[in-house]
Structure 1
Amino acid sequence: MCGRYNVIDDPFTQGLLDELGIAKRIHTRYNLAPTEQVPVIRQLDKQNELIDMRWWLIPHWAHVPDTRYSMFNAKAETLATSKAFSGPLKHQRCIIPASSFIEWRTEEGHKQPYAIQPVSGVFALAGLWEQWGHGAEAIHSCTIITTVAAPGMEQIHHRQPVMLPADLRARWLDPTIDGHHLMPLLMPSLPCALEVVPIDPVINNSHHKQAPTTLGPALFRLDAN
């Protein structure tokens, strides 16, 4: 599961944009939560672009925008058979840049948040995007794909967002490729070394938009696998 994350305007994030040919910057945003506008990279007309989208996918066939169903994450294992996600999987894939994402563990009777972040770099999270409506009424929305936790990650949560390595990002974005042929990219893996750091529980409030305060050294670190 991935229900909160941060994206920081730093050399790592800018390097991701440069790698994908995007001449823009991402403004730093902390504690991004479902239904908020988030920065997304997609490809249209053979050009990658950076666009804000609603983080909660709205299927194009929905009668109205709805939050009754949890559409901010999409399970990799069921993408191909999902009524909401199988269509976007084919040709509407995207990347969500993330400097860290947040998970929780229940410890001593309370939910303790942890920031999962690269030791060096930025996450390129695999996602899908969709358009609901047309013209001025159109809403662009996205979802983050999750998979079973890679070895070691289950210490913090049994699932994780799919993190794309640098050599597969362009392929994931290419809409000329049917996404059903890209399912092996969604297997559990860690393309970079990461650390899991305890942070102040004030982040539990989605309205808190300041940088997370660390509460000590990393709980653990994991090497790329």
Structure 2
Amino acid sequence: MGPQPPAGATALVLGGLLAVSCSKDDNDAAPFAPAAVTFSAAGLFPEGVQYDAKNSAFLVSSLSTGNIGRVKDDGTCTVLAQGSTAGIVSAVGLNLDDSRNRVLVASSNSMARDRAKLVSLNRDNGTVNFNVDLGALRSSPNHFANDVAVDGQGNAYVTDSFAPVIYKVDAQGVATVFLDNAQLAGATGAFGLNGIVFHAGAGSGYLSSGQN
């Protein structure tokens, strides 16, 4: 995560995937979706992407502005939530929690790498449900909230790339340390924990996380 690149056109090559995923049966005709969606936004530096079927748009996080954008198939781009208003410096990983009508944002500072927060937004209008400071739970020279996963009860799990920690935040915004293990730390000055996924199972399910 170095200096931010200049403004330019950003392509989301995800439309073709939608056509496949929307088909219930091989014999059903898949709804039209473009092979790629291209749009321009000043200084965007996109990081996380989720598809919001309810609003027929991609949600895109900006590492440079902290904004959460909403991009339609025709390339129309609007701002769902301003980073400056939501208290987000760098928006990293996204998770669309469909059943709770919210977008969860892993919030960091890509330059200073001094914070790890989780921000919950209303998926329709971008208002802030909560903004919780995760880095305050664990002393470390650096913090960087990278990705977020959600279980069936609405608990969110957030990775910290500069502290060997996975945080847990319940549906009301109460945060705790879920896992703290020095073996998960990256090399000095390097990113450690990165993506995270919740796998639903017969019991409570399980988490899997990757490292750089």
Relative contact order, higher structure (CA 8 A, sep 6+): 1
Same fold by TM-score, threshold 0.5 exceeded? no
Q: Greater helix share, 1 or 2?
A: 1
**TM value normalised by structure 2:** 0.29
More strand per residue: 1 or 2?
2
Q: TM-score, normalised by structure 1?
A: 0.28
